[in-house]
């Protein structure tokens, strides 16, 4: 090489240099320095509340970055806008789609069909993915339209969402919605795909499928991944680098093998266990828990549910007795949340079937609210629709009123119980903070405290550990296990992971689902990506 020839240094594709990220009125990650080089595939880890989601949103252009220098040097693919170079899938995205209204609206949207609301078919169509104004006159080349149609067919087959296309978005289960969002992100053909906790809510069959899809994409030239992960086993083959976030700063960053030995990474992914559940300080109940006259808490006789031309389940018989702790298992869309909605009383078809709760038939003239007082409930749908403007203490207090807000002045005993549960879950200092300012994982802990605060007789938990890091997951599970051991609650539990089910849950109801198509076998990559 001649002495006069200069070696041209390749600049990073994405670079933050001395910048800060704004959230509300505060500035985080001040002076942060991080870069994504060509060929690198990143994982991002950290404890709940460490700032992972905020950092990912800033990289996707969805959180304001101030000061310093921010450089995005991705070139969009032909026919795509610069904004399509980076795609983000997150729980916050699901919240925006869910919109306002109670969680129970999902069951009414399920009957809408093609003519009502936004369907999956429209959401994954070219106009929806490319955000084309329906009143805009466009003359797109037939070749581009045909290429998108081929890509759409392949992605829909690969992710396995073809059978959902006729459904409205609000009618989807938590896992089904996550699959649809991943499919939509792939249809944008991004140069950088950011996935924030993408495995949350996915069933055991699809989790390895998604890892194979991502591994295949990472072998494609020009494709880059940033995966916000809660577990080491979620990292697909091909991840080369890892960054650990701690206290809204980058605590460690570098090659994957090197980072797996870093103390900050070990603390985030394999933390020390919290105190034994026996040492958990349960607050004094604000009221004397009511006990059912019979040991039979739930009874279903020949229950059938169908909508949108799809049978969810039929002729189902199920009985839950006091002290019998049940796990509901089955693939995404098999009807687990539907079944729980009938127990809680939110699903309209509960009143057209023989469903008995605490000995009273649904629709038999009983007060819905009198039964809800005896049931503690958490679900992804509740989290999606829960108002963000109230304080964390007020959010827990709404558990006494089975509402989304405090519509009467809480008693002193109720306030002590609510504060006690926040303290027990290591959130006491957050009591006065706005619920919406917490990370998704910490919000989930607040909602779990809300479910337990009224000392319920029946605890209905639908994927309660979704979004929790290892430390909070263990803390919550040990608290529930101790309540079960003391005989203070009967648990009905849904989870796609065996290690998230409390010890003592020994009965299983397995829902297989009907009219479901399996995801297509993953190839090395999406052919037309």
Instruction: Dig out the tokens for 64 from the structure.
Output: 């304001």
When mean pLDDT is compared across 289-293, 381-385, 510-514, the lowest value belongs to 289-293
Residues 6 or more apart whose CB falls under 8 angstroms from that of 506 comprise 325
> Which of 426, 437, 435, 483 has its CA nearest to residue 457?
483
User: Residue 447: enclosing H or E segment and its boundaries?
Assistant: helix 440-452
Q: What is the model's pLDDT at position 515?
A: 43
414 vs 31, 392, 395, 411, 424, CA distance in Å? 43, 14, 12, 5, 15
Mean predicted confidence (pLDDT) in 212-236: 94
Strands (E), 171-249: 192-196, 224-228, 241-245
Q: What is the pLDDT of residues 87-100, one digit of tens each?
A: 999 999 998 887 76
Which of the four CATH numbers 1.10.10.10, 3.40.50.300, 3.40.50.1110, 3.40.50.880 does domain 277-510 have? 3.40.50.300
Q: What is the model's pLDDT at position 277?
A: 41
Distance CA 28, CA 22 (A): 6
Please identify which residue in the block is written with the tokens 């009905």: 492
* Cα 153–Cα 159–Cα 162 angle in degrees, nearest 5: 55
Q: How confident is the model at residue 525 (pLDDT cuts 50, 70, 90)?
A: very low
Given a cut of 70, whether residue 402 has pLDDT beyond it is yes
Q: How confident is the model at residue 312 (pLDDT cuts 50, 70, 90)?
A: confident
Which of the four CATH numbers 3.30.9.10, 2.170.260.10, 3.60.21.10, 3.40.50.300 does domain 14-133+141-269 have? 3.40.50.300
CB atoms closer than 10 angstroms to residue 199: 21
Alpha carbon 431 to chain centroid, angstroms: 23
* Cα 87–Cα 89–Cα 93 angle in degrees, nearest 5: 115
pTM above 0.85, yes or no: yes
Residue 191 and residue 75 in contact, taking contact as beta carbons nearer than 8 Å: yes
When mean pLDDT is compared across 96-100, 131-135, 336-340, the lowest value belongs to 131-135
Q: Tell me if 14-133+141-269 shares its fold with 277-510.
A: yes
Q: What is the model's pLDDT at position 132?
A: 72
Q: What is the pLDDT of residues 38-87, one digit of tens each?
A: 999 999 999 999 999 999 999 998 898 888 878 888 877 666 666 678 99
Residues 6 or more apart whose CB falls under 8 angstroms from that of 303 comprise 313, 315, 316, 317, 318, 342, 353, 354, 355
The residue ranges of every structural domain in the chain are 14-133+141-269, 277-510
Q: What is the model's pLDDT at position 81?
A: 63
Q: What is the pLDDT of residues 24-42, one digit of tens each?
A: 888 999 999 999 999 999 9
Q: How confident is the model at residue 378 (pLDDT cuts 50, 70, 90)?
A: very high
Max distance between CA atoms of the chain, in angstroms, equals 93
From the number of C-beta atoms within 10 Å of its C-beta (0-12, 13-18, 19+), residue 131 rates as exposed
Mean pLDDT of the chain: 85
Residues 6 or more apart whose CB falls under 8 angstroms from that of 231 comprise 199, 269, 470
Instruction: Dig out the tokens for 82 from the structure.
Output: 């610069």
Q: What is the model's pLDDT at position 279?
A: 52
Q: What is the model's pLDDT at position 101?
A: 63
């Amino acid at each position: 090489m001649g002495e006069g020839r200069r070696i041209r240094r390749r600049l990073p594709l994405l670079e933050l240099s001395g910048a800060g990220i704004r959230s509300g009125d505060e500035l985080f990650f001040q002076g942060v320095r991080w870069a994504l080089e060509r060929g690198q595939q990143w994982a991002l880890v950290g404890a709940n509340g460490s700032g992972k989601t905020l950092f990912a949103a800033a990289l996707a252009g969805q959180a304001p970055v101030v000061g310093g220098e921010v450089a995005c040097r991705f070139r969009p693919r032909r026919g795509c806008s610069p904004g399509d170079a980076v795609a983000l899938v997150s729980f916050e995205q699901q919240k925006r789609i869910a919109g306002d209204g109670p969680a129970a609206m999902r069951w009414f949207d399920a009957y809408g069909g093609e003519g009502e609301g936004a369907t999956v078919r429209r959401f994954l169509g070219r106009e929806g993915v490319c955000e084309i104004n329906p009143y805009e006159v466009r003359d797109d080349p037939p070749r581009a339209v045909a290429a998108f149609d081929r890509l759409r067919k392949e992605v829909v087959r690969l992710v396995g969402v073809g059978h959902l296309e006729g459904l409205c978005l609000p009618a989807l289960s938590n896992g089904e919605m996550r699959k649809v969002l991943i499919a939509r992100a792939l249809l944008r053909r991004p140069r950088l795909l950011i996935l924030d906790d993408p495995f949350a809510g996915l069933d055991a069959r699809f989790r390895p499928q998604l890892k194979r899809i991502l591994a295949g994409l990472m072998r494609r030239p020009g494709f880059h991944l940033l995966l916000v992960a809660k577990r080491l086993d979620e990292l697909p083959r091909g991840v080369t680098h890892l960054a650990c976030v701690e206290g809204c700063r980058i605590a460690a960053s570098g090659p994957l093998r090197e980072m797996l030995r870093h103390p900050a990474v070990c603390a985030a992914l394999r933390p020390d266990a919290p105190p034994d559940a026996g040492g958990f300080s349960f607050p004094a109940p604000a009221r004397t828990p009511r006990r059912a006259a019979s040991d039979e808490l739930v009874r279903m006789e020949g229950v059938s549910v169908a909508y949108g031309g799809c049978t969810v389940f039929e002729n189902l018989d199920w009985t839950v007795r006091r002290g019998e702790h049940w796990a509901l298992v089955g693939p995404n869309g098999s009807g687990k949340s539907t079944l729980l909605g009938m127990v809680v009383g939110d699903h309209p078809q509960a009143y057209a079937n023989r469903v008995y709760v605490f000995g009273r038939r649904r629709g038999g003239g009983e007060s819905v609210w009198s039964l809800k007082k005896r049931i503690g409930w958490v679900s992804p749908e509740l989290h999606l629709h829960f108002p963000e403007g109230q304080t964390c203490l007020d959010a827990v207090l709404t558990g006494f009123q089975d509402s989304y807000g405090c519509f009467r002045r809480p008693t002193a005993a109720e306030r002590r119980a609510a504060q006690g549960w926040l303290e027990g879950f290591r959130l006491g200092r957050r009591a006065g903070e706005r619920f919406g300012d917490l990370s998704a994982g910490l919000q989930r802990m607040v909602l779990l405290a809300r479910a337990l605060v009224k000392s319920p007789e029946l605890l209905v938990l639908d994927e309660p550990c979704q979004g929790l890091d290892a430390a909070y997951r263990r803390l919550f599970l040990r608290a529930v296990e101790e309540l079960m051991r003391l005989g203070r609650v009967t648990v009905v539990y849904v989870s796609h992971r065996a290690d998230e089910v409390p010890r003592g849950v020994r009965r299983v109801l397995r829902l297989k689902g009907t009219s479901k198509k399996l995801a297509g076998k993953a190839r090395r990559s999406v052919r037309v990506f």
